[in-house]
Structure 1
Amino acid sequence: MSNRKPTEDVALGIRRRVFEHAMRNNGGYLSQACSAAEQLAWLYNEELNLGEPTLPMIPKPFAGVPSASNPEYHTGAGYNGPFEPQFDRLFIAPAHYALVAYATLIEVGRMAPEGLEMFNKDGSSVEMIGAEHSPGMEVHNGTLGIGLSTAAGLAYGRRLRGDTGRTWVFMSDGEVQEGQTWEAVQACAHHGIDSVYAIMDVNNQQCDGAMSSVMEVGDIRRKFIEFGAACVDVDGHDLGAIRDAVREPHAGKPLIILAHTNPFHTMPVLEERFPRLHYVRFKSEDERARFNHSIAADLGVEPIDYSH
């Protein structure tokens, strides 16, 4: 896109938009913005090779389910540009990161800010849990753990067709509790599919609490390597480390970048809620006001006026 901003500014902008949305709506996916902003900013602002968007800047309403009799149906992938052989494709595997993904699209100029005003409204395509018709989404990944398999299948088909573009997946660490993730890695390794790239937000928390309290997963990097991937551990808030990681040699193997993050990075007041940070809904008006002023100060903005 033209007039590209520094990626650090994009990440800050993502957090500011998610913060404002959460304050106005008395809750939101704040911790996902804390942990993943650098990753999504880097993907969209630097790493992905995408064409110009093919859908309107202001999202269309939900146009119904796909069928031969519904010519209005479309996926939300048009915000990532056209499906052409040389371009990359991206799957957002954890659909509950949708709010952060929408904020990213706005920050990089692929969607209008008005899109967030449609979030979770009846008849809107801007779903709270991203669906295949939501901005930036190509398939429905609401069943956590299918994203890497989807990418593996698409990448295999693209290779058969002669496409040169890569297939990327943004993941979360809860997905390593799903067997399908490991099957996808094995399939890529067996077929030598090295056009699959994934970056995983390893923030050690999930819907039901801390990862270790739900199901201990051990040494994720070692497991990915044993299952046939090339895998790199990085600080997920260090853009330089992420940039270096994508250059890791991985001929014949998928590349998995494990981005270790802090789910209250830049919003330290959220630590009060850890590990119950999946969706932060304020417990009282006093807490809402206190979080508003604390986070605003940390993000360098004025507190949000949510009274109207």
Structure 2
Amino acid sequence: MTITNRQSTEDVAAGIRRRVFLHTMRNNGGYLSQACSAAETLALLYNEVLDLGEPTLPKVPLPFAGVPSASNPDAFTGAGYHGPFSPEYDRFIISPAHYALVIYSALIQMGRMGEDALDYFNKDGSSVEMIGAEHSPGMEVTTGSLAQGLSMASGLAWARKRRGETGKVWVYMSDGEFQEGQTWECLAAMSFHGIDNVRVIVDVNRQQCDGAMSSVLDLGDLPARVAAFGATTRSVDGHDLDALRDAANSAEPGKPLVILANTSPFQGMPFLERRFPRLHYVRFKSKDEREEMKVAIAEELGLELESI
């Protein structure tokens, strides 16, 4: 990547978790477990793997300028925080739009957005949406219901391949998206068309909005199922950076690469385990519960209570 922000990937992951935790405490709720499970994978992508240019959007996020159309020259997509569209640069599609707070925190941690960018989070007229849309920082497309992001990324990758562009298309997914038929249709299509410039990382944290994945629709042997659809499949510990690095460099010609990053929704914040599997969105039932969580997790993250 062009931007230089000298941090270890471990520090980026820790910074993502701290930012999401602080925001959750200060706003009485947030997508906290997604920061626990996704911090290492997103840190590795942004700090080491993705080849991105300098941001084309300001560090203070712009207000929503309306949907893209021929009659709206002011419209923009949040992909500007990943740099310009250029044949040699990677594109990064974020499929689970509810990870938006974690993505924003990663962009801030990497210096791609300003330190005060979360002040605009979920405010009327802001582009910093709670559930990311195409204008939200880091988002290139609106993924709507789960499982649309991979299909859009595959079409983009196929077009780039046919044009001879060298940049890859990376996709970030949640495991809940494998409960949707569109994901499997897309894997079959990518395999059939030999779309091998796609790299997929899946946050396999085994939870979704209705509880544990196994209680809603068990996916069984997910690595075997994905491999059966023709993808190069790597199942690794999603908190082991060396394993993730090896997986990210293991693509095979003619096949999409799918990395199943097995993660914990309370990694780095073990206090949250008592809430599993009801961790999709963390709210506080009382002031006492909030204070208990604040004290416990602040200690786990090495934060001073006075800063919260």
TM-score, normalisation: structure 2: 0.98
* 1:20 and 1:304 in contact (8 A); partners too: no
Q: Which residue of 1 aligns with 2:103?
A: 101
Q: How does 1:190-201 map to 2 (within 5 A)?
A: 190-201=192-203
* 1:23 and 1:304 in contact (8 A); partners too: no
* Unaligned segments of structure 1, at least 5 residues: none
Q: Distance in 2 between matches of 1:31 and 1:142?
A: 21
Q: Which residue of 2 aligns with 1:290?
A: 292
Q: How does 1:43-122 map to 2 (within 5 A)?
A: 43-122=45-124
Identity %: 66
* 1:105 and 1:111 in contact (8 A); partners too: yes
Q: Distance in 2 between matches of 1:249 and 1:173?
A: 20
| Aligned-CA RMSD value | 0.9
Please tell me whether residue 149 in structure 1 is matched to residue 151 in structure 2: yes
SS at match of 1:245: helix
Letter in 1 for 2:302: G
Q: Distance in 1 between matches of 2:253 and 2:4?
A: 33
Q: Which runs of 4+ in 1 moved over 3 A?
A: none
Q: Distance in 1 between matches of 2:115 and 2:138?
A: 14
Letter in 1 for 2:57: L
Q: Which residue of 2 aligns with 1:208?
A: 210
Aligned residues: 306
The structural deviation recorded for 1:213 is 0.6
Q: How does 1:1-308 map to 2 (within 5 A)?
A: 1-303=3-305
* Unaligned segments of structure 2, at least 5 residues: none
The structural deviation recorded for 1:304 is 5.5
SS at match of 1:113: coil
* 1:24 and 1:304 in contact (8 A); partners too: no
- With over 3 angstroms needed to count, the CA separation of the structure-2 counterparts of 1:261 and 1:157, relative to structure 1, is same
The structural deviation recorded for 1:148 is 1.1
SS at match of 1:283: coil
The structural deviation recorded for 1:303 is 2.1
TM-score, normalisation: structure 1: 0.98
